[in-house]
Amino acid sequence: MTKSKLDFKALLKRVASLFTHNWQWKLISVLLAIALWSGLITQDDTLTRSKTFEDVTINVLNADTLRHNGFIVVDGLQDLPTVTIEADVPQKNYNAAAASNYNLRVDLSRIRSAGEQTLNLLTTTTTSYGSVSDMSLSSITVQVEEYISRSRIPVRLSISGDLEENFFAGSASVDPVYVTVSGPKSEVERVVRCVADYDMSILSAQTGVERTAVPFRLVAADGSDIDRSLIEVTSESVILDSFIVEQPIYAAKELVINTTDLVSGHVPEGYVIKRITAEPATLTIAGSNELIESLNELHLVEMTAQQIDVTNASDTLMRRISLVPPSGAVYLSSDTVMVTVEIASK
């Protein structure tokens, strides 16, 4: 064996002994060095990793400020697309980083005029979570109109449905009677009235004053409904989503008309009053519970200031008589009746 080969083998043994001598401590040292290196890397804010977030929603900010500035977005904010963003995240917060940390948004307060406007998508940069380096969408286009208000828009009731039998509804009132409408100029200028849709069939079957919250519509001059999605309806600065209808409800009853003692005087000799009839033969009356419970029929002679004088009458008489409702009545289905007095020879 040559000297060179011996020297090489001796070198290999020395190298091997370096790794095998106290190898446990050497392994621990290597592992500790790796751990220390990893710790230093994760604490270094200058070292970042790229992280992708998909389906990120766009936040819309300062809509109230835009209205205060006299403008409103009428198109372009409905069904906003989601965005894919890529961020350079500091190594130490890589796992904790979320899309919300970058607050993807559009700021409506930057709008200064009506018409078509392009708004850049904005993001937030922080030392903890880094910054956005790329986005699948960088801006959106919106349509802007002037924002105006009109006051003293009248409120009207549109009444449908009926109360249950044996009840009568008095005059309904709505609160408020005037409102203020605010929104896009092109829509607000079309509003001529506010209509509250009131269905009386939902009222409870009991007497008293009933208060009901009802929906409403904004109506144009041609009778068509106006989209309320961008319009605020207010009364005394309070935003309204319904109106209050106040409805008095009374007991009601249909009663037969009694014509007893309705005529005065006497027919000539040889003639008789065969029959006295009234048209209509029945009337519906409404009032307090006490009044309705006390009535079984309506005596015409008690409801009119006049009688029918049959003196010297030999032919049938027809008279239209005006009626005065009984005390406590709030409704009578007719204020007159046609009375027929049939007179015939014996």
Nearest residue to 334 via CA among 259, 288, 276, 284: 284
Sequence-separated (6 or more) residues with CB below 8 Å from residue 256: 281, 282, 297, 298
Q: Where are the chain's structural domains?
A: 48-137, 147-250, 259-345
Place of tokens 């091997």: 16
Q: 85-134: per-residue pLDDT in tens?
A: 999 999 888 999 999 999 999 999 999 999 999 999 999 999 999 999 99
Which residue is associated with the tokens 């008789």?
A: 272
Length in residues, the chain: 346
CA distance 298 to 333: 12
| pLDDT for the residue numbered 25 | 61
- Name the phi and psi angles at 3, rounded to 5: -65, -35
pLDDT digits (tens, 9 = 90+) for 191-209: 999 999 999 998 888 899 9
147-250 shares its CATH topology with 259-345: yes
CATH fold of 48-137 reads RNA Polymerase Alpha Subunit; Chain A, domain 2 (2.170.120)
CA-CA distances (angstroms) from residue 337 to 166, 254, 326? Answer: 22, 15, 15
**Rounded to an integer, what distance in angstroms lies between the CA atom of residue 277 and that of residue 318?**
10
Kindly give, in sequence order, each residue whose CB lies less than 8 Å from that of residue 41, ignoring residues fewer than 6 positions away.
47, 91
**Termini Cα distance of the chain:** 171
Q: At how many degrees (to 10) do helices 3-20 and 23-42 cross?
A: 60
Cβ atoms of 275 and 342 within 8 Å: the answer is yes
Sign for the pseudo-dihedral over CA of 181, 182, 185, 187: negative
Fold for the domain defined by 259-345? RNA Polymerase Alpha Subunit; Chain A, domain 2 (2.170.120)
CB 41 within 8 A of CB 47: yes
Tell me what pLDDT residue 48 has: 87
CA distances from 121 to 49, 111, 220, 299 (A): 23, 13, 37, 82
Separation of alpha carbons 321 and 209, rounded Å: 33
The dotted CATH code for 147-250 is 2.170.120.40
Q: Which residues of the chain have pLDDT under 70?
A: 1-46
**CA 265 – CA 339 distance, rounded (Å):** 16
Q: What is the pLDDT of residue 205?
A: 82
What is the reported pLDDT for 1? 52
